[in-house]
Amino acid sequence: MNRTVSSAPTALTDFPPREIRQVSYDELCRGVEALCNLIESSQDGWKPDAIVAVVRGGLVPATHVCHFFNRPIYFIYNDVLLDKLEGHKRILIVDEINDTGRAFQRIRDGIFSKPPNDTFDVRYAVLYTRHTTQFKADYFLDYEPFFLNTPAWQQFPWERE
The pLDDT of residue 2 is above 70: no
Q: What whole-number distance in Å separates Cα of residue 96 and Cα of residue 65?
A: 11
- Which pLDDT tens digit goes with each residue over 42-69? 989 999 999 999 988 999 999 999 999 9
Domains of the chain: which residue ranges?
Answer: 20-155
Pairing verdict, β 73-77 and 80-81? antiparallel
pLDDT of res. 1: 42
CATH topology of domain 20-155: Rossmann fold (3.40.50)
Cα-atom radius of gyration of the chain, to the nearest Å?
16
- What's the CA gap between 140 and 120, in Å, rounded? 21
Q: Does an H or E element contain 122, and which?
A: strand 121-130
Q: Is 19 helix (H, G, I), strand (E, B) or coil?
A: strand
Segment 90-145, tens digit of pLDDT: 999 999 999 999 999 988 888 777 777 778 899 999 999 999 999 999 999 999 99
